Amino acid sequence: MNDNAEELAALEESLANGDKHALAELFAIYRERLLRIIHFRLDFRLKTRIDAEDVLQDSYMEALKRIKHFQGFSGSSFVWLALLVKQTLIDLQRFHFAAEKRDMGKEFLISDMATSMNLAYHLVAQVSSPSRTIMQMDILANVGNAIALMDSTDQEILALRHFEEFSNKEAAESLGIEQKAASIRYIRAVKRLKEIMQQFPILESGTGHG
């Protein structure tokens, strides 16, 4: 574990000096974790049109362009790359929704990277097949609306900790808050989510959160 930590520290030091080879190695190390973020954040209506591997490749190209920015970044290389992946997804989804605006209808557009809807989709998907989930738009919308009433930071920390499997330290870095505050928020958010899930029988047979 120490060897791994030392390797990461050395790669991050090289990355801070603009080393493209260090970036490639770090990207390879975090590849599966970054893909997990893409699968969670990608709007469910675009899952058949946007390939996760393409998003990952676009994110890598963005990282190459912005490699000098890591030097002034206070968090870890993983958190930095995760933020770039999320920004790449925002840009791609804006592009696709703009192209489909006439067909989809303006009122059907969900705000960029709406965490509440992402949470709702994956919660419902855990107890129903993806195809059935899309058909049950009323259930999805109701769950999403209930989650949207939560504090936005609490929504985000649920996404980070539970679905994207960030550590408490990584979640705190991503949100720009202290680790203790992140831990307290996560416990509170899980409690609130359990209360919301109890309102929807379809979710009660789903996964437990803790």
CA distance 53 to 31: 10
**105 φψ region: left (φ > 0), alpha (ψ -120 to 50), beta (else):** left
Whether 170 contacts 160, CB under 8 Å: yes
**180 φψ region: left (φ > 0), alpha (ψ -120 to 50), beta (else):** alpha
- Does one domain contain both 62 and 158? no
Q: Is pLDDT above 90 for 23?
A: yes
Whether 165 contacts 174, CB under 8 Å: no
Q: Is residue 126, in this structure, part of any structural domain at all?
A: yes
pLDDT class of 130 with cuts at 50, 70, 90: low
Whether 189 contacts 159, CB under 8 Å: no
CATH of the domain at 30: 1.10.1740.10
Could you identify the residue written with the tokens 């705000």?
A: 111
- Split into its structural domains, the chain has a count of 2
Among 1-10, 96-105, 199-208, whose mean pLDDT is lowest?
Answer: 96-105
- Does one domain contain both 194 and 128? yes
- Does one domain contain both 46 and 121? no
Q: pLDDT tens, 61-109?
A: 999 999 999 999 999 999 999 999 999 998 988 887 776 655 544 444 4
Query: If you average pLDDT over every residue of the chain, what do you get?
Result: 86
Q: Is residue 109, in this structure, part of any structural domain at all?
A: no
pLDDT in the model for residue 123: 87
